[in-house]
Structure 1
Amino acid sequence: MVHSTRRDVIKVSGALLGGIAVGTTVTAATSADRFIVQTKGRGLPGGVDVVHEMPGTDLAVVTGDEDVLASSSGVKAFAPDIELELNEPETNAEVPTFDASDYQGQPGDFLQWDKADLNVSEAHETTEGEGTRVAVIDSGVLETHPDLAGPLNVELSRNFTDDGGDHNPVGGGDHGTHVAGIVAADNGGGIGVNGTAPKTDLVDCRVFSAEGGASFADILAAVVYSANVDADVANLSLGAYPVPRQSLGSFYGKVLNSTMTYANKEGTLLVIAAGNDSADLQHDGNLISLPNEGAQALSVAATGPIGYGWNAEDESPPESPAFYTNYGTNAITLGAPGGDADLDAIGTGVPWSNDLVFNTVFSYEDTDGDGEPDTQVPGYGWKAGTSMAAPNVAGAAALVKSANPDYNANQVESALKRAADVPSGYDKTYYGSGYLNIVDAL
């Protein structure tokens, strides 16, 4: 299957709310009293409450009266906070439940085509990410998962939402747990799964609330926090698209660029999912995808096989572009395994989900017998998306940093780009510098 001939330019529809287009990942402005503020360095006015201070930048997140901000001589600019939603490929809603008995107790890496194709085991002969730190800015990481308990730094992990929970997932999905596993799962040689950098120090920055949305302001605060706790890499498997460059879209882009530039200066490489809209980000008019088109972003497109372990005759290689991935020569830095699927195979009984990325997840079970799910039970499962491709790169970046501790963020990115090549027969627009090559980057 040749994916690069099947693209349609995305058609943007919907009204504009506060300068933000209603698309697949952007909803509307949040409550009218929560704002992202750019100050003039003279502090914030009285009458507002600070939610996030964001030290090191001239930004803050506050709640209060808009009129107070508008009349303050210390405020340079401000705009209402907005809420983002996770945008996953349609295949994720159809993924079957994993039953380990189907695989007769074989280790989970039996299903990890992504790690095999990236030669992660060979890279681990050099380093497993020792001495590095990776922040996962997402929906929370389940600290009781046996493959994540070792890498996860609970002390530094934070909840950036206002839902009252801790860093663990609260009433939400297992997206962040899956992402974290791709980065750093450590099965210790048992019946589990492997991450790319299992010896990194993993910091969970939860920005998705129990209701399922993520505040743009909370994401900015988590990026600054990641830099301030000396994370070498921050993974953001999230985004907003389409956002118009004009109107308030320019403010959000400006404060994002300021935040991302600060993180980069402090040594934190920002690895960001390119998005799952099948969109040509290079030729989409006066629109932008955030944060992957922000300053200093390492934007990752997704690849994946078709027929892995179930249809060798029609199999496409792991480096072929996934049907859902965003693309665009100047909008993509690298391509990496994120999973693909033959949509016609869904529901036919063949193991099409093998083409997705297999790693750590959890499920909710009713353990007290009241008929309501109340306990998060660790497990394993499949997902696809640029959300899965980005953490493969984030883990690789941790390995490069571990092998080259004097590298700054730009040098780590440069090593990854130099080692990558565009696969023969495929279009550069899906890869930027090329397909992730960890071993040659070390």
Structure 2
Amino acid sequence: MGRYSRRSVLRVAGAMLGGVALGSTVTAAERTDRFIVRTRGATSASALEAEGLSVIHELPEVGYYVVEGAERDVEAAPGEFEPDIQLTFEEPVADVLTEATRAVDGASPAGESATDEPFYGYQWDKQTQGVPEAHETTRGEGARVAVIDTGVAAAHPDLAHAVNEELSANFTGDGQGAANAAGGYHGTHVAGIVAANDRNEAGVVGSAPGAEVVDCRVFADDGSSSFGAIVAAIHYSATAGCDVANLSLGNYPVPRSAYARYYARFLHRVTTYATRTGTTVVAATGNDGVDLDTDGSVVAVPAEAPGVVAVSATGPIGFGYGDPGLEEPVDSPAPYANYGESVVDLSAPGGNVDPERPAGWEQDLVLSSASLPQFDDAGAYVGAVHTYFWVAGTSMAAPQVAGAAALVASQRSRQRGRFVERVLRRTAADAPGGREYHGHGHLDTLAAVRHAARSGRGRDDENEGSDRGRGR
């Protein structure tokens, strides 16, 4: 066992439940200096630059570019355009319930399995998903997962083995680099759910610790992002050969204007391109607790885009109360999670909340790695304090699916993308609450891995084209 005790885990309050954080305020505004351009024919980046524009993101395979410059110059360029959408969130302050005795500064000698990790006993999500048993078949070796988020700290001891720093990219323009936590703790927490090391006897275990993680940082150090940057990161994930792209981004208020179809078409073209090239795109449904089938005030972006696996959240009540049994099972729909039969594809462990908060309530959340960014007086990123957080949200549910997808993809050298999604759907388990909360069902990681293993031996290859589940 490692040298970290229960008290060395930093516990965060229920306010930290979100898409980035439940209860956070997200605002959107049209930019006047950045535009999303749909080009005509063989228009290239050089043609746009000839009009005095700076090309920020290139997506030539789908005929789009994100550019900066004056609107009059964009008007003179070939093609259609609309303003990029600036997104800003304000994260609530965490309520630290118990002192973190010390930050993580290294790892103990290697262990042999997930169950050797010191915090595995708190990971109800990995226990109920049969992750140690799945690792007897595959740990995700050879799979590549993009984490499109606030940044993944490659220096975190539970992720140093996994992060591909060379492929990692910064889409924000803040100059703070990539493979770091400059945008906040959130991306490192998500990445740990996917790929935290199971053999270092430190911290937690991820679903696919053998997989490679590519950090696609789309949130800047000031908490801002843009619609264009997020969509460009999805495109990059496909061109970088990622088997899975995870977007624990929740819902962002892209304006419902006369031009909404333009933004939707941009997103749809890219998600379709990604899935066709073999990338399984996974996204959180968001944490407003609303019915996406009927509530017109909320749009699940990017979860509602074609080809995206939209994930809602479940969790137990009573895992840490010390009593035998649970007040609510682990596949119970989480009250904060958005739902809707037309949107949700799968549910997965994201954490639950008891409003009464008896002792141990935080253990119903999801425990994973976290890195708190540090900046000098000039605002330059200088590193992070590496620790562990209990957090809940559909943001935590989505990477459970992404990790399972990596395990399935690792067994298929040629068939990916739609094959992976079909396996996850076909092996999903029935759960209380119905399709509006679970879609095709509740994620079953072990069943998915075993199904893929059987299929890899040629038993089901001819039948994988038929999806018995509901379509969107």
The one-letter code matched in structure 2 to 1:80 is P
Partner residue of 2:38? Answer: 38
Q: Could you tell me how far apart the structure 1 residues matched to 2:297 and 2:393 are?
A: 25
Unmatched runs of 5 consecutive residues or more in structure 1: 1-22
Structure 1 residues 333-363: Cα deviation after superposition (integer angstroms, max 9, x where no partner): 0000011111221xx6x12111110010123
Partner residue of 2:158? Answer: 147
Structure 1 residues 288-326: Cα deviation after superposition (integer angstroms, max 9, x where no partner): 321000111100001111111215366211110111100
CA shift in 2, pair 1:146/1:357, >3 Å: same
Q: Contact (CA 8 Å) 1:24, 1:241: kept in 2 or not?
A: no
Q: Contact (CA 8 Å) 1:137, 1:207: kept in 2 or not?
A: yes
Q: Could you tell me how far apart the structure 1 residues matched to 2:265 and 2:25 are?
A: 19
The one-letter code matched in structure 1 to 2:38 is Q
Partner residue of 2:8? Answer: none
Tell me, what secondary structure is at the counterpart of 1:199? Answer: coil
Partner residue of 2:66? Answer: 61
Partner residue of 1:200? Answer: 211
The one-letter code matched in structure 2 to 1:328 is G
Structure 1 residues 190-240: Cα deviation after superposition (integer angstroms, max 9, x where no partner): 032100000111100100000012111111111111100100000000043
Partner residue of 2:411? Answer: 403
Partner residue of 1:17? Answer: none
The one-letter code matched in structure 2 to 1:428 is R
Partner residue of 1:130? Answer: 141
CA shift in 2, pair 1:170/1:405, >3 Å: closer
Q: Contact (CA 8 Å) 1:136, 1:236: kept in 2 or not?
A: yes
**Deviation of the 1:188 alpha carbon:** 1.4
CA shift in 2, pair 1:245/1:435, >3 Å: same
CA shift in 2, pair 1:404/1:125, >3 Å: same
1:344-363 superposed matches below 5 A:
344-345=356-357, 350-363=359-372
Q: Contact (CA 8 Å) 1:170, 1:209: kept in 2 or not?
A: no
The one-letter code matched in structure 2 to 1:319 is D
Q: Contact (CA 8 Å) 1:422, 1:428: kept in 2 or not?
A: no
TM-score, normalised with respect to structure 2? 0.80
Q: Contact (CA 8 Å) 1:87, 1:276: kept in 2 or not?
A: no
What is the root-mean-square deviation of aligned Cα atoms in Å?
2.7
Q: Contact (CA 8 Å) 2:35, 2:68: kept in 1 or not?
A: yes
The one-letter code matched in structure 2 to 1:192 is G
Q: Could you tell me how far apart the structure 2 residues matched to 1:192 and 1:250 are?
A: 45
**Deviation of the 1:332 alpha carbon:** 0.3
**Deviation of the 1:331 alpha carbon:** 0.4
1:390 corresponds to 2:398: yes
Tell me, what secondary structure is at the counterpart of 2:137? Answer: coil
User: 131-140 vs 281-290, which deviates more?
Assistant: 281-290
1:433 corresponds to 2:428: no
Q: Could you tell me how far apart the structure 2 residues matched to 1:182 and 1:86 are?
A: 23
Partner residue of 1:293? Answer: 304
**Deviation of the 1:243 alpha carbon:** 4.5
1:296-307 superposed matches below 5 A:
296-307=307-318
The one-letter code matched in structure 1 to 2:419 is Q
The one-letter code matched in structure 2 to 1:62 is V
Partner residue of 1:329? Answer: 341
CA shift in 2, pair 1:58/1:183, >3 Å: same
1:318 corresponds to 2:326: no
Of 282, 287, 290, which aligns to 1:276? 287
Q: Could you tell me how far apart the structure 2 residues matched to 1:100 and 1:298 are?
A: 39
Tell me, what secondary structure is at the counterpart of 1:289? Answer: coil
Q: Could you tell me how far apart the structure 2 residues matched to 1:98 and 1:273 are?
A: 30
CA shift in 2, pair 1:380/1:229, >3 Å: same
Tell me, what secondary structure is at the counterpart of 1:290? Answer: coil
Q: Contact (CA 8 Å) 2:208, 2:406: kept in 1 or not?
A: yes
**Deviation of the 1:381 alpha carbon:** 1.4
Partner residue of 1:83? Answer: 86
Tell me, what secondary structure is at the counterpart of 1:93? Answer: coil
Partner residue of 2:278? Answer: 267
Q: Contact (CA 8 Å) 2:158, 2:202: kept in 1 or not?
A: no
The one-letter code matched in structure 1 to 2:353 is A
Partner residue of 2:354? Answer: 342
Q: Contact (CA 8 Å) 2:251, 2:298: kept in 1 or not?
A: no
Structure 1 residues 115-140: Cα deviation after superposition (integer angstroms, max 9, x where no partner): 00101011111100011100000000
Q: Contact (CA 8 Å) 1:417, 1:433: kept in 2 or not?
A: yes
The one-letter code matched in structure 2 to 1:93 is A
The one-letter code matched in structure 2 to 1:435 is H
Q: Could you tell me how far apart the structure 2 residues matched to 1:256 and 1:277 are?
A: 22
CA shift in 2, pair 1:252/1:40, >3 Å: same
The one-letter code matched in structure 1 to 2:300 is S
Q: Could you tell me how far apart the structure 2 residues matched to 1:328 and 1:87 are?
A: 27
Partner residue of 1:96? Answer: 97
Tell me, what secondary structure is at the counterpart of 2:32? Answer: coil
1:49 corresponds to 2:61: no
Structure 1 residues 63-109: Cα deviation after superposition (integer angstroms, max 9, x where no partner): 0111222243x21x211111234588x8x8345356479xxx97011
CA shift in 2, pair 1:405/1:168, >3 Å: closer
The one-letter code matched in structure 2 to 1:439 is L
Q: Could you tell me how far apart the structure 1 residues matched to 2:204 and 2:143 are?
A: 20
**Deviation of the 1:400 alpha carbon:** 0.7
CA shift in 2, pair 1:332/1:206, >3 Å: same
Tell me, what secondary structure is at the counterpart of 2:430? Answer: coil
Q: Contact (CA 8 Å) 1:98, 1:381: kept in 2 or not?
A: no
Q: Could you tell me how far apart the structure 2 residues matched to 1:162 and 1:253 are?
A: 24
Partner residue of 1:210? Answer: 221
**Deviation of the 1:246 alpha carbon:** 4.8
**Deviation of the 1:438 alpha carbon:** 1.2
**Deviation of the 1:405 alpha carbon:** 2.8
1:418 corresponds to 2:423: no
The one-letter code matched in structure 2 to 1:186 is N
Q: Could you tell me how far apart the structure 2 residues matched to 1:168 and 1:31 are?
A: 27
The one-letter code matched in structure 1 to 2:389 is G
The one-letter code matched in structure 1 to 2:266 is V
CA shift in 2, pair 1:398/1:138, >3 Å: same
